[in-house]
């Protein structure tokens, strides 16, 4: 196997494991970076400049400065190690420029997403994850991480169905989704028998292997996966998102799906409106009980955002420092806030500003706006370049918009799983641009 194929297989395995294991996905990221460094040294790859380079560099430098001026610089610098994950963007830009590789890597992300949402639904049905204080988290450590990834997976799957190449899969083509869901069923059965940890680890390893196989194999099952995975994943992801009872993910998913509807045919917005109307009329308890802004969680967010404003006013330049919110929150907490301590401020903008000051917010907004603008530009071009490009560009635009809007109500980019999926997706527009430039 040459280095290029090894790079593709590693990135596909990484994409497949983001929804199921932060340890596995980060291990595969370090291996991907190592292979890319070897390829760069051998002049078999090159890094192309992107409009995200400058804001990313500025954000990284300012984050490290903010950590240096924090109340506890050692702890703050330790917390800043998540900056290393941003290397995934550059691995993605280099690998995803090849159309076949791009399709297979995105299919691998849907493969891992199918495992996640399948387990979330099973947890809700069979393992007692059916209360607000016990929500399904799938393979991940927290339901908020699971719902954030599920939201993006849903948007990607719907984009593939709405904007991608038309296909009529046969029953025999459903083998790969069936294998994934069988693995999920084994995890559920093992959990009931008290052997869930071992089964989960084996399932994660199998998902990584399947992701790499989807990318590297020329077999019929791998090709069929491009059409069958979104077909099975979309309804299960919608189900998992509902039972997650996570309002921020609902809002993000609604916007992401609206973006896909506009790209496919604006009249499809009526379908989205009809779905919302159906929820209002049917009033399912798992949904309507969460449609409120006067519950304790909503009130807590209001007061923690007020505390965030006070943090910024107190330290407007460098902020409190990365990872310092939990330590300093009691000092700024408003008396009316229901909870005495908070590890973060449940809002990307408030969190970044409180941790890294107003310059940090400016660099973050520069980066996010540049990523969104690139996705928007490629989605417009994609419509004229065929369904393969159209669905990748459109799906990425919808998913990026969903994550950013959901991030107004949750610090979702603080979750490594959501951040890694976001970084992988932001690489797609620049990979498309580089591929077009190489042909020209």
Residue 1 reports pLDDT greater than 90: no
pTM of the model: 0.96
Q: What is the pLDDT of residues 202-213, one digit of tens each?
A: 999 999 999 999
Q: What is the pLDDT of residues 362-394, one digit of tens each?
A: 999 999 999 999 999 999 888 778 888 899 999
Strand partners, 76: none
- Mean pLDDT value across residues 293-319: 94
Contact 136, 120 (CB under 8 A): yes
Residue 49 DSSP symbol = P
Residue 22 reports pLDDT greater than 90: yes
Choose the weakest-confidence range: 63-72, 303-312, 378-387.
378-387
Phi, psi values for residue 322, rounded to 5°: -60, 135
Task: Quote the distance between the C-alpha of residue 319 and its chain's center.
Answer: 26
Residue 281 reports pLDDT greater than 80: no
Residue 344 reports pLDDT greater than 90: yes
Q: What angle do CA 352, 419, 78 make, to 5 degrees?
A: 60
- Mean pLDDT value across residues 414-428: 97
**Across all residues in the chain, what is the average pLDDT?**
93
Residue 147 reports pLDDT greater than 90: yes
- For residue 413, give Cα distances in angstroms to 88, 119, 238, 293, 406: 14, 23, 21, 23, 10
* Residue with more model confidence, 224 or 285: 224
Instruction: Please give the share of the chain, as a percent, with pLDDT higher than 90.
Output: 80
Q: What is the pLDDT of residues 104-124, one digit of tens each?
A: 999 999 999 999 999 999 999
Q: Could you tell me which of 313, 308, 340, 335 has the C-alpha nearest to residue 324?
A: 308
- Mean pLDDT value across residues 259-286: 78
């Amino acid at each position: 196997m040459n280095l290029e194929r090894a790079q593709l297989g590693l990135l596909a395995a990484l994409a497949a494991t983001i929804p199921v294991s932060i340890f596995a996905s980060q291990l595969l990221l370090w291996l991907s970076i190592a292979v890319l460094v070897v390829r760069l040294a051998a002049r078999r790859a090159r890094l192309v400049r992107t409009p995200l380079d400058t804001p990313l560099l500025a954000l990284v430098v300012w984050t490290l400065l903010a950590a240096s001026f924090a109340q506890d610089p050692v702890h703050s610098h330790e917390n800043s190690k998540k900056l290393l994950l941003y290397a995934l963007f550059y691995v993605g830009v280099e690998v995803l420029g090849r159309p076949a590789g791009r399709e297979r890597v995105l299919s691998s992300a849907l493969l891992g997403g199918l495992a996640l949402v399948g387990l979330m639904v099973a947890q809700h049905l069979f393992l007692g994850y059916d209360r607000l204080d016990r929500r399904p988290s799938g393979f991940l450590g927290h339901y908020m991480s699971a719902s954030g990834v599920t939201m993006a997976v849903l948007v990607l799957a719907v984009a593939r169905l709405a904007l991608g190449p038309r296909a009529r899969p046969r029953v025999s083509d459903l083998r790969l989704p069936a294998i994934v869901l069988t693995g999920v069923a084994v995890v559920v059965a093992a959990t009931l028998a008290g052997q869930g940890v071992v089964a989960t680890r084996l399932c994660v390893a199998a998902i990584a292997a399947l992701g790499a196989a989807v990318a590297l194999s020329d077999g019929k099952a791998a090709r069929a996966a491009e059409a069958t995975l979104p077909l099975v994943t979309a309804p299960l992801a919608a189900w998992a998102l509902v039972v997650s009872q996570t309002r921020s993910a609902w809002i993000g998913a609604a916007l992401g799906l609206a973006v896909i509807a506009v790209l496919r045919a604006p009249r499809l917005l009526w379908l989205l409106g009809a779905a919302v109307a159906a929820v209002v009329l049917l009033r399912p308890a798992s949904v309507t009980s969460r449609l409120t802004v006067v519950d304790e969680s909503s009130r807590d967010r209001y007061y923690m955002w007020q505390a965030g404003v006070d943090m910024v006013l107190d330290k407007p330049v460098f902020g409190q420092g990365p990872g310092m919110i939990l330590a300093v929150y009691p000092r700024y907490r408003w008396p009316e806030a229901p909870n005495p301590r908070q590890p973060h401020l449940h809002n990307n903008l408030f969190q970044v500003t409180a941790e890294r000051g107003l310059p940090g917010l400016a660099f973050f907004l520069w980066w996010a706006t540049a990523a969104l603008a690139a996705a928007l530009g490629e989605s417009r071009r994609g419509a004229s370049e065929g369904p393969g490009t159209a669905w990748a560009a459109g799906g990425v635009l919808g998913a990026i918009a969903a994550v950013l809007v959901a991030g107004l109500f949750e610090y979702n980019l603080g979750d490594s799983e959501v951040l890694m999926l976001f970084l992988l997706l932001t690489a797609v527009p620049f990979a498309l641009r580089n591929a077009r430039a190489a042909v020209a």
